[in-house]
Amino acid sequence: MNRFILVLHCPPWSHQSVATACQFAQAAIDRGNSITAVFLYQDAVLNGSNNLDIPSDELNGQSQLVNLNSQHNIPLLMCVTAAEKRGVNADALHPSFTLSGLAEFAELTTESDKMVQFK
């Protein structure tokens, strides 16, 4: 059984990467592996904004991440520095996401067997 940490770099609406990361996580869990956390970096922090208004006919990565969190209790950690640069602060944060630093991410990588990035 492997422990994975996933790193996302893409915003919630413009790339298949968020959906692919969620599908990867579900497949890994189905095979008996675990996901230590999903770390959102660069534009991926926009997935954690509480102010998203994505039309129903567009890709919505945020809802897929929230579903992953609620079904499997996987922490959704957002780089605090990247979030602040993009206007996502604690007041504008979706309740399923947590602000975190790179130090916590580095520590989680030591507790994981593999890190997989989605750009």
| 57 class by beta-carbon count within 10 Å (0-12 exposed, 13-18 middle, 19+ buried) | exposed
Alpha-carbon 47 to chain mean position: 8
Continuous H helices in the chain: 17-30, 61-72, 80-85, 102-110
Tokens of 108: 């989680």
Q: What residue type is assigned to position 83 of the chain?
A: A
Please give the positions annotated as active site.
79
State the Cα–Cα distance between residues 13 and 37, nearest whole angstrom: 21
